[in-house]
A and B are shown apart, each in its own frame.
Chain A
Amino acid sequence: MSEITDTIAQIESEAAVAIATASSTEALEEVRVRFLGRKAQLPNLLRGVAQLPPQERGAVGKAANQARQGLEAAISAREGDLAASELQARLASDRIDVTLPGDPAPRLGRLHLLTRTRREIEDIFIGMGFSVAEGPEIETVYYNFDALNSAPTHPARLETDTFYLEDGLDPFDHLAPSARLLRTQTSPVQIRTMQAGPPPVYTIAPGRTYRPDSDATHTPQFTQVEGLAVDEGVTLADLQGTLLHFARAIFGPEREVRLRPHFFPFTEPSVEVDVSCFNCQRGIVTDGGRCPICKGTAWLEILGAGMVDPNVLAHGGPAYDPEQVSGFAFGMGIERIAMLKHGIPDLRLFYDNDLRFLEQV
């Protein structure tokens, strides 16, 4: 019996040395196979316990079991140490140049500045209770001029100011109400909105508009937003308040607006609306120079407006009796708002669609 226990003791000591000297997890695995594998001595001893005489079985079995457990624990401990140091070595050699560029971010697109400005304007007026209407871009003389109280001789009707469709009519006939044209303003939507239902009406109408003109401040196609409010007791002061709210939302809370009298066929009284310049103090910028945005005038013209002319209300139908309801209307160029806000010098940039421009603004 002592022979066997001696053998076990010898195995234990050999294994202890082998475990301690195993230099890698791989070598340790070999050690494990050598001492604990299927063909190893110790497990064989354990399997052979049954063949021993009964009086020896207990002691040998116990010693072999203890030895096995001891070896397993030692291997496990050694394995932990080796693995940790191997990981450390691997990480130590796994160095990258952290200064190389990271992966490029997935490319995000962008809405066109005119669309973003349009949405900004829409959202301000939606917040004030206005809805958004759309109307056709191919309009008739009736909706674009007649119903808007434009005099038959108004120069805006000329072919130099309005695109007409080729429809076989007399080229000088700018008076036929059904003659078709590209709308020169979003104002026809005023009439269409009123004809669609009774007051109250609180609507804005953004969209493309067209005039034959092309230079740094004109493109043959441009974008307007029309506004129309018709209700009982709507006043010019309400127009001023509404536009003041709008101007502050767009250009900053310190802004003021002023109304200057003007003439538009479809409003009476008519005004042009200026907003105080957001870039300067009374026309002077901080370095003492003349403000390039307002040209030193301290005011920026942003839109035309007025109280809806009774003749225009009449085209809305009997529900729009000027003795019962009144209203204001305004129209602004989205390009102009965007140009002022972003300091864009040339209207044509909007329609050139250079990606470098689209990415920038």
Chain B
Amino acid sequence: MRVPVSWLRAYCSPELDTFAIGERLAMTGIELERVETHGVSALEHFVVGKVLEAHRHPDADRLTVCQVDTGDDAPSQIVCGAWNVAAGQTVAVGKPGSVMPDGTRLKTAKLRGEPSAGMILAEDEVAIGIDHDGIMVLDDALAAGTPLAEVLPIADEVLVLEVTPNRPDELGVYGVAREVHAATGAPLAPAPWEDPAAPDLGSAGDLSGHATVEVQTDRCLRFTARAFKNVTVGQSPAWLKARLSAAGMRPISNVVDVTNYVMLLTGQPLHAFDLDKVAGHALTVRAATAGEPMQTLDGQTRTLDPEMVLIADREGPTSIAGVMGGARSEVSSETTRVLLEVATWDGANVHRTSLRLGLRSEASGRNEKGLQPEQAMHAQIVATRLMVEVCGATVVPGTIDIGGEGPPPQVIRLRDARITGLLGLEIPRPRVAEILSALQFGTTDAVDGLDVSVPAFRRGDITREADLIEEVARLGALQDLPATLPPRRGAAGALTPRQRLARAAADALVAQGLFEIIGWSFEGPELAARLGLQGTPHVMLRNPMSAEQSRMRTTVLGSLLDVAQRNRSRGATALALFEAGAVYLPLDGDPAGRETAEPQHLGALLSGPVRPGSWRDQTPPDADFFAVKGVLAGLLGAAGVPWELRPFAAQTLPAPPFLHPGRSAEVIIGDERAGWIGELHPSIAGQWDLEDAVAAFEIDLDVVAGHVAPAGYRDVTSYPEVREDLAVVVAETVPAATVVATALQAGRPLLVGAEVFDVYRDAERVGDGHVSLALRLRYRASDRTLTDEEVAGRRKRIVKALSAQLEGRVRDS
């Protein structure tokens, strides 16, 4: 909402500068976006001038060299390009030093060799209107040197306000003036529709013989119309054009300008029909029929539906109610009779129509907020006077008024205790009454508070006690509000175990050198194709911003790869990234399904050197499967869950297509499938320009959460541990995990640990197709120091079990 300050001050003019008014409004509920200067500045350089002489420029046919009396000692020479400049005219002059609306400062210049000290001004050059058809010719009674700002509205300030959607009453200058009055205490002039000095020039009663209106839908709450004859369509006066321009609307013609001006003043849209083009002089307000076409003022043909309301004459639709008029009955330069419609519509319905037609206008933007029926007559009264004064019209007696005013004012009890209870601050009842009166609420004393009656212009916004308390708070309480803390009965702040797990998991990855990234929850259709996951169901967006963000991700691998690629291209060699976040899955596999799941995933990606190189470790190894497995082990160890990797098998459990089939596995937590780990398939990684190995995992944190068990205590300090090494040769097909598990099983209960510390292959010494695994065995009892004999006995059983179950043979060390 753009409010020209000179216009605002016509109704309420506090002794504050424009910025201070804006600040005050900001502290009471209307946000100030900015203060703009409209028109020119450096006003002392703008004066009235008299053209003493005017001669054609010796070197340019279209230029005139003028001698202009600007009230100074000697006339100034000004070169002018306007067709209509002539000696003897009284004109508007911008002298050197003038600052034009676009910020340029005029200087003495030479035009085709002739010096020119400033400009003779056209209307558009001072932002009064858009007319550039010649210079402005002023009243000859004005003396040369008269400051131009005293004669023409060439400069104004504009408050650009952000009006919240609950306050359609502030979409008009007078509504803002009411608010300024309440916020500053400065006196408020009577509303222009209630001003005793400017009574209504129209009259009630029948308009028959001139126009008839029939309303066939309850979506029109009120329909008013007045008729005018002897209308002279032309330009509006400068003051009117200047106000429209400053408020951000283009002056068009006096009749249209009047409707826009009144809308800007009252907040109520109006529409002027050329009465002679209204077929049958009869309007019908009705629902559109399905598929009914209609040509709007912007020249487009719109297709309507039965939920939309239109205004039709005998030849068909002529306006889309509350949104836009039609081309057929538009006011033109030939118009002499005008039918002025001002109506109140069902806001939600206007909103829907405007949305479906993709048609937004100043009118629909106001109508859709739900205006009050009283506003319609207010606008009619102000417009009637201006039609007479600005367009020379004669008012046709009578007013069509269907629907009438809204319901009588609601009276709401506002309890003193409730104000204190909600705000935490006691406000004396007289002060409450004072605030509400300034906002034009009626108040009468009641037993426990005030009975407050709501003015019509606030009917849509104020319906409950809490709404009134907000009014009191914003104008009278916020500055004095104490800072207290709530009672917090029974409040005990703590993270849940699940939330603590999420933090511990992220911390465990950070401790291992990984950087957290936050990727998009969206992905594009090409991601699934690149990962070989075509056909995976996705949750789809109806109105994505782009194809790359058109569906919800089902994996965090996409964002990890994107971020890896971006950083690699920017020179990062070592990549260690993770992301924790939801993925979004249609539950029944049907994209249109109603149920979705949002499991929280945790994904990590390593590529490049596992540690920073140095002068004595120049080529540290690149990340691979075992590097990322170590990270996973650190993570799951911190979480405290039992886990294992299950190798993928081509027949029974094929690896996802984006993984290296031989260097990947399924992550099993407890007995649940929790995700995958592995090196990416080289051809997949290559699509993200990652040429070296990319090792990654992705697990479902919700599965992890289901298996967290607190670690139990065992005595590991009272008696020493006995360690010994054992090298065992087994067939390559026997997984190391099986060897370890067999040893642990056989060594129970004294064997408490068995870790592989060397893996050795040598066809001659170990045997073809075989591998030697060196195990570090750790024995312990919690109640005694173990004897050599006890340990030797266990070892024997371990060796026997490895031999019997795995055909393993112990190598001599």
Contacts from A to B (Cβ < 8 Å): 100-101, 103-104, 106-112, 114-115, 119, 122, 125-132, 136-138, 151-155, 158-159, 163-168, 171-172, 178, 180, 182, 200, 202, 208, 210, 212, 214, 220-221, 229, 231-238, 240-242, 244-245, 257-263, 268-272, 307, 309-310, 322, 326, 328, 350-356, 358-359
User: Which single member of A212, A231, A354, A359 contacts B489 (CB below 8 Å)?
Assistant: A231
User: Which single member of B466, B512, B518 contacts A307 (CB below 8 Å)?
Assistant: B466
Residue of A nearest to B31 (CB): A262
Q: Is the CB–CB distance between A182 and B31 below 8 Å?
A: no
In chain B between 572 and 629, which residues have their CB closer than 8 angstroms to a CB of chain A? 572, 574-578, 581-582, 584, 591-592, 594, 596, 598, 611-617
- From known contacts A128-B488, A128-B493, A260-B26, infer whether A100 and B615 are also in contact, taking CB-CB under 8 Å: yes
**Cβ-closest 9 pairs across A and B:** A237-B424, A235-B424, A261-B474, A263-B164, A129-B491, A269-B470, A126-B493, A261-B29, A241-B483
Q: Is the CB–CB distance between B424 and A238 below 8 Å?
A: yes
Contacts of B217 on A, CB cut-off 8 Å?
none
Q: Is the CB–CB distance between A109 and B594 below 8 Å?
A: no
Say whether B704 faces chain A, with CB atoms less than 8 Å apart: no
Contacts of A232 on B, CB cut-off 8 Å?
487, 489
In chain B between 612 and 667, which residues have their CB closer than 8 angstroms to a CB of chain A? 612-617
Q: How distant is the Cα of A131 from the Cα of B370 in the complex, in angstroms? A: 40
Contacts of A127 on B, CB cut-off 8 Å?
493
Interface-facing stretch out of B448-456, B562-570, B771-779 = B562-570
Q: Is the CB–CB distance between A126 and B494 below 8 Å?
A: yes
- From known contacts A132-B496, A220-B522, A354-B570, infer whether A159 and B543 are also in contact, taking CB-CB under 8 Å: yes
Interface-facing stretch out of B224-232, B269-277, B348-356 = B348-356
In chain B between 339 and 375, which residues have their CB closer than 8 angstroms to a CB of chain A? 347-348, 351-352, 355-356, 368-370
Q: How distant is the Cα of A112 from the Cα of B499 in the complex, in angstroms? A: 17
Q: How distant is the Cα of A210 from the Cα of B581 in the complex, in angstroms? A: 14
B119: shortest Cβ distance to chain A, in Å?
Answer: 34
Contacts of B512 on A, CB cut-off 8 Å?
109
Interface string of B769-802 (1 = CB under 8 A from A): 0000000000000000000000000000000000
Q: How distant is the Cα of A1 from the Cα of B306 in the complex, in angstroms? A: 144
User: Which single member of A110, A231, A269 contacts B488 (CB below 8 Å)?
Assistant: A231
A32: shortest Cβ distance to chain B, in Å?
Answer: 35
Q: How distant is the Cα of A257 from the Cα of B482 in the complex, in angstroms? A: 11
Contacts of B567 on A, CB cut-off 8 Å?
353-355
Interface-facing stretch out of B61-69, B71-79, B502-510, B728-736 = B502-510
Q: Is the CB–CB distance between A200 and B572 below 8 Å?
A: no
Residue of A nearest to B485 (CB): A241
Residue of B nearest to A155 (CB): B165
User: Which single member of A137, A151, A164, A354 contacts B598 (CB below 8 Å)?
Assistant: A137
Interface-facing stretch out of B202-210, B278-286, B291-299, B534-542 = B534-542
Q: Is the CB–CB distance between B522 and A221 below 8 Å?
A: yes
Q: Is the CB–CB distance between B486 and A153 below 8 Å?
A: no
Residue of B nearest to A235 (CB): B424
B355: shortest Cβ distance to chain A, in Å?
Answer: 6
Contacts of A262 on B, CB cut-off 8 Å?
29, 31, 164
Say whether B516 faces chain A, with CB atoms less than 8 Å apart: yes
Residue of A nearest to B609 (CB): A107
Residue of A nearest to B478 (CB): A259
Q: Is the CB–CB distance between B478 and A244 below 8 Å?
A: no
Q: Is the CB–CB distance between A126 and B495 below 8 Å?
A: yes
Residue of A nearest to B584 (CB): A138
User: Which single member of B351, B368, B491, B507 contacts A200 (CB below 8 Å)?
Assistant: B491
Q: Is the CB–CB distance between A129 and B488 below 8 Å?
A: yes
Contacts of B483 on A, CB cut-off 8 Å?
237, 240-241, 244, 257
Q: Is the CB–CB distance between B510 and A110 below 8 Å?
A: yes
- From known contacts A241-B484, A259-B478, infer whether A129 and B543 are also in contact, taking CB-CB under 8 Å: no
B315: shortest Cβ distance to chain A, in Å?
Answer: 29
Q: Is the CB–CB distance between B165 and A151 below 8 Å?
A: yes
Residue of A nearest to B369 (CB): A153
Residue of A nearest to B472 (CB): A269
Q: Is the CB–CB distance between A165 and B481 below 8 Å?
A: no
Q: Is the CB–CB distance between A268 and B487 below 8 Å?
A: no
Give the most central of B518, B563, B617: most A CB within 10 Å.
B518
- From known contacts A126-B493, A261-B28, A262-B31, infer whether A233 and B515 are also in contact, taking CB-CB under 8 Å: no
Q: How distant is the Cα of A182 from the Cα of B356 in the complex, in angstroms? A: 22
User: Which single member of A111, A236, A355 contacts B422 (CB below 8 Å)?
Assistant: A236
Q: Is the CB–CB distance between B473 and A236 below 8 Å?
A: yes
Q: List 26 A-B contacts (CB under 8 A).
A: A109-B511, A127-B493, A129-B488, A136-B596, A152-B348, A153-B347, A159-B542, A166-B591, A172-B355, A200-B490, A200-B491, A202-B491, A208-B521, A214-B545, A220-B522, A235-B486, A236-B481, A241-B482, A241-B483, A260-B29, A261-B470, A263-B164, A263-B165, A272-B31, A351-B518, A354-B566
Contacts of B26 on A, CB cut-off 8 Å?
260
Q: Is the CB–CB distance between B584 and A358 below 8 Å?
A: no
Say whether B464 faces chain A, with CB atoms less than 8 Å apart: yes
Contacts of B239 on A, CB cut-off 8 Å?
none
User: Which single member of A107, A220, A242, A244 contacts B549 (CB below 8 Å)?
Assistant: A220
5 other contacts beyond A166-B540, A234-B486, A269-B466, with CB at 8 A cut-off? Answer: A153-B165, A164-B543, A202-B486, A233-B486, A241-B483
Q: Is the CB–CB distance between B563 and A168 below 8 Å?
A: no
Q: How distant is the Cα of A312 from the Cα of B724 in the complex, in angstroms? A: 69
Q: Is the CB–CB distance between A309 and B487 below 8 Å?
A: no
Q: Is the CB–CB distance between B493 and A131 below 8 Å?
A: yes
Residue of B nearest to A219 (CB): B520
A272: shortest Cβ distance to chain B, in Å?
Answer: 8
Give the most central of B485, B490, B596: most A CB within 10 Å.
B485
Q: How distant is the Cα of A172 from the Cα of B359 in the complex, in angstroms? A: 14
Interface string of B532-557 (1 = CB under 8 A from A): 00000001111111000100100000
Residue of B nearest to A134 (CB): B499
Q: Is the CB–CB distance between A172 and B352 below 8 Å?
A: yes
Q: Is the CB–CB distance between B542 and A238 below 8 Å?
A: no
Q: How distant is the Cα of A309 from the Cα of B541 in the complex, in angstroms? A: 31
User: Which single member of B488, B516, B574 contacts A107 (CB below 8 Å)?
Assistant: B574
Q: Is the CB–CB distance between B493 and A166 below 8 Å?
A: no
A210: shortest Cβ distance to chain B, in Å?
Answer: 7
Q: Is the CB–CB distance between B541 and A163 below 8 Å?
A: yes
Contacts of A126 on B, CB cut-off 8 Å?
493-495
B714: shortest Cβ distance to chain A, in Å?
Answer: 30
Q: Is the CB–CB distance between B423 and A237 below 8 Å?
A: yes
Q: Is the CB–CB distance between A358 and B466 below 8 Å?
A: no
Q: How distant is the Cα of A261 from the Cα of B474 in the complex, in angstroms? A: 5
Contacts of A257 on B, CB cut-off 8 Å?
483
Q: Is the CB–CB distance between A129 and B566 below 8 Å?
A: no
Q: How distant is the Cα of A269 from the Cα of B507 in the complex, in angstroms? A: 41
Q: Is the CB–CB distance between A129 and B493 below 8 Å?
A: yes
Say whether B752 faces chain A, with CB atoms less than 8 Å apart: no
User: Which single member of B347, B370, B515, B542 contacts A358 (CB below 8 Å)?
Assistant: B515
Q: Is the CB–CB distance between A359 and B515 below 8 Å?
A: yes
User: Which single member of B515, B584, B613 contacts A137 (CB below 8 Å)?
Assistant: B584
Q: Is the CB–CB distance between B499 and A237 below 8 Å?
A: no
Contacts of B541 on A, CB cut-off 8 Å?
163-166, 182
Q: Is the CB–CB distance between B424 and A168 below 8 Å?
A: no
Q: How distant is the Cα of A104 from the Cα of B617 in the complex, in angstroms? A: 10
Q: How distant is the Cα of A259 from the Cα of B476 in the complex, in angstroms? A: 12
Say whether B686 faces chain A, with CB atoms less than 8 Å apart: no
Q: How distant is the Cα of A213 from the Cα of B499 in the complex, in angstroms? A: 30
Say whether B513 faces chain A, with CB atoms less than 8 Å apart: yes
Q: Is the CB–CB distance between B421 and A130 below 8 Å?
A: no
User: Which single member of A151, A152, A229 contacts B486 (CB below 8 Å)?
Assistant: A229
Give the most central of A101, A115, A168, A328: most B CB within 10 Å.
A115
Residue of B nearest to A323 (CB): B418
A361: shortest Cβ distance to chain B, in Å?
Answer: 12
Q: How distant is the Cα of A244 from the Cα of B482 in the complex, in angstroms? A: 11
Contacts of B519 on A, CB cut-off 8 Å?
351, 353
Contacts of A270 on B, CB cut-off 8 Å?
470
Q: Is the CB–CB distance between B473 and A261 below 8 Å?
A: yes
Say whether B425 faces chain A, with CB atoms less than 8 Å apart: yes
